Amino acid sequence: MTKCAWITGSSSGIGRALAKRLVDDGYRVAVSARNAELLAALAAEHPGRIVAFPLDVTDGEAVRRVADAVTTAMGPIDLAVFAAGSYTRDYAADFSVERMRQMFDLNVMGTANCLEAVMPGMIARKAGHIAVVASVTAYVGLPGAASYGATKAALNSLCEALHPELASHGVTLSVVNPGFVATPLTEKNDFPMPFLVSAEEAADIIARGLASNTFEIIFPWKMALAIRLLHALPHKLRFALTRKMLRS
């Protein structure tokens, strides 16, 4: 029986590349994002294998309707990948509560809306796999990523808290912590991005991690090693290094 995957944030970047990769792995894939035109173009590339369900994940009621529509049209959701998110650099001098609220609404509460929509069905079936896309910035507060990093740290904490209970119900939960990936979001960065990987490379790594039921899928390995070492340092040494990231 063909498995069903649902991916949010799939009009571009990691979500789009992962949708195509999962089709190659034999899935039928429901794709959701706010940009209906890009979703339709993606679905047209794989008729019958990718089906578009436009969605703004910050609208909780819409998320529930789309989750139900996916199930009705394609069957129970075997794999749900919540990749919808946004990134805007911010600094102390221009800190904005509204900008931070918008990022939390999308990155955190949007993901929470999706979790609320799929967890009950998976728990009832005692089957299913959920993956939440976060970031290596969850490990260390980095200059320019105060709000973004805070949202990703929240997602990591959320997944760690939910994992034991979901496992007891037969549901697998994974968190994906990418480093720099070449996507429309990172195109606007005007600073060096070490260990940059393509969206296709990211999708391959994620797909392999999901197939092995890994809890944390963190990549590329050089970035994972660097961020973990930075996290392990005493604050005085860590701040000495992160201060060098400040831009004039």
In order of 15, 79, 140, the CA distances from 12 in angstroms are 6, 19, 26
Q: Residue 37 burial by CB count (10 A; 0-12/13-18/19+): exposed, middle or buried?
A: exposed
Task: Answer yes or no: are the C-beta atoms of 148 and 137 closer than 8 Å.
Answer: yes
| Residues recognised as catalytic | 148
Helices (H), strands (E): how many in the chain?
A: 10, 9
Give the CA distances from residue 95 to residues 89, 90, 92, in Å, rounded to whole numbers and listed in that order.
10, 6, 5
Cβ count within 10 A of residue 240 = 11
User: How far apart, in whole angstroms, are the C-alpha atoms of residue 27 and residue 7?
Assistant: 12
Distance CA 139, CA 135 (A): 8
Q: What b/e sequence results for 169-192 when a residue is b if at least 16 CB atoms lie within 10 Å of its CB, and e otherwise?
A: eebbbbbbbbbbbbbebeeeeeee
For residues 121 and 161, give the distance between their C-alpha atoms in angstroms, rounded to a whole number.
19
> How many Cβ atoms from other residues are within 10 Å of residue 231's Cβ?
12
